[in-house]
Structure 1
Amino acid sequence: MRRIIVPVFVLTALFCLLAASAALAAPEAPKDPVEMKYPDDGNKYAPIMFMHTDKHLGVAGGCATCHHKWDGKAEITGCRVEGCHSDTSREMKREPTSYDSAFHSKDAKMSCVGCHTANLKDNPDFKGPKKCNDCHSKK
C-alpha cells in the first residue's frame, strides 16, 4: 500500500506546484474598461468599452483564447498588431486577418460574435450581447 501512496503523493504535489506556478505566471487582466474603436470609421459609432469580466477570464484556454497569438510569456498586445488583425480596410473585412473579423467572425470562437453565438446556442438564457446594438451605439 505504501508503494502506491508515496508516488501518488509526489505526483499530486508536483501537479499542484505546476498549477500554482502557471496561475502566478498569468498576466493580470486590466481592471478598467478597455476602449475598443474601429479605426477609420468616421466616428460613426461610439467606442466599445470592454470589461474583462469573470466570465471572460474564466473561458477555457484563458487569455490565449481571445489573444490567440500570445505565447504565454510576452506582454499581451491588442488585435491590430502586424501579423494578427492589422488589415482595417472595408474591402477585406471578412478575411481572417482583418480587424473587423477579430470581433465579428461568426465561425471563430475566438471572436466576440463567434463566442457569443456559440454560448447562445448552448444556453438560451445567455446574458451576453446578442445583437449589434447591444455593443454598438451610434454617436
Structure 2
Amino acid sequence: MRRILITLLALCALGTAATALAGSPPDALRLEPPKGMEAAKSPVDFPHGRHTGAVADCTACHHTWDGKAEIKACGSAGCHDQPGKKGETAYYTAFHAKDTNRSCLGCHKTAKKDGKPAPVSCKQCHK
C-alpha cells in the first residue's frame, strides 16, 4: 500500500512539473503592433482567458501552431508582420478581416449573429 501511495504521489508531482514547464496561457494580453509599425487606434487589452473556452482549440486563432512549439505573437516575423490593411499577412487583417472566423472581428460578428455578446465596434475594443 505504501509503494502505491508513493508511486501516485510521484506521478502527481511529475504531472505538476510537466504542466509548469509547458506553461499555461496568459489570462490577459495587450495587443500592440510590432516595433516599427504604427496603429491608428489605441492598443487592445485582450481577455485571453475568456477566449480559451469559447473556441474549439488554440489553432482556431493560432492557425499556424503545430501544438508543440511556443506560440508566437500575431505580429511575429512570418505571421501578421506587414503594415497596411490588405493581405493575409497584414497585422490589421489578423484582427479585423470580416469574412473569416480566424480574425477577432469576423468571429465576433458570427457570435453576434448567434445571439452571443461580442464587441464589434471600434470603441468596444480600442478604449
Per the TM superposition, whether the score is higher than 0.5 is yes
In structure 1, which of residues 75, 80, 87 is the aligned counterpart of residue 82 of structure 2? 87
Rate the CA distance shift 1:27–1:119 in 2: closer, same or farther, 3 A: farther
Contact kept? 2:111, 2:117, Cα under 8 Å: no
Q: Which residue of 2 aligns with 1:21?
A: none
Return the alpha-carbon distance in structure 2 between the equivalents of residues 30 and 53 of structure 1. Answer: 7
Within the candidate set 111, 114, 121, 1:122 is matched to 114
TM-score by length of 2: 0.72
Q: What CA RMSD, in Å, does the superposition of the two structures yield over aligned residues?
A: 2.1
Q: In structure 1, what residue type is equivalent to 2:59?
A: A
Equivalent position of 1:40 in the other structure: 38
Q: Does 1:74 align with 2:69?
A: yes
Q: What displacement does 1:45 show?
A: 2.9
* Equivalent residue number for residue 103 of structure 2: 111
Label 1:27 to 1:121 Cα distance change in 2 as closer, same or farther (>3 A).
Answer: farther
Instruction: Give, in angstroms, the shift of residue 27 of structure 1.
Output: 5.4
Deviation of 1:29 (Å)? 1.2
State the identity as a percent: 39
Structure 2 counterpart of 1:74, which letter? A
CA distance in 2, matches of 1:107, 1:135: 19
Divergent runs of 4+, >4 A? none
Letter aligned with residue 53 of structure 1: G
**What is the aligned length?**
105
Structure 1 pair 63/27, CA: closer, same or farther in 2 (3 Å)? farther
Q: With structure 1 as the length reference, what TM-score do the two structures score?
A: 0.67
Deviation readout 1:77-127 (Å, 9 max, x if unpaired): 101122221112x2xx1211110000000111011000001111122xx22
Contact 2:26/2:49, CA 8 A, preserved across alignment: no
Query: Secondary structure of the equivalent of 2:48?
Result: coil
Structure 2 unpaired stretches of 5+: 1-18
Structure 1 CA distance for aligned equivalents of residues 87 and 114 of structure 2: 26
Residue 28 of structure 1: aligned partner: 24
Q: Distance in 2 between matches of 1:101 and 1:53?
A: 22
**Contact kept? 1:59, 1:65, Cα under 8 Å:** no
Q: Does 1:100 align with 2:92?
A: yes
Measured in 2, the distance between the counterparts of 1:71 and 1:59 equals: 20
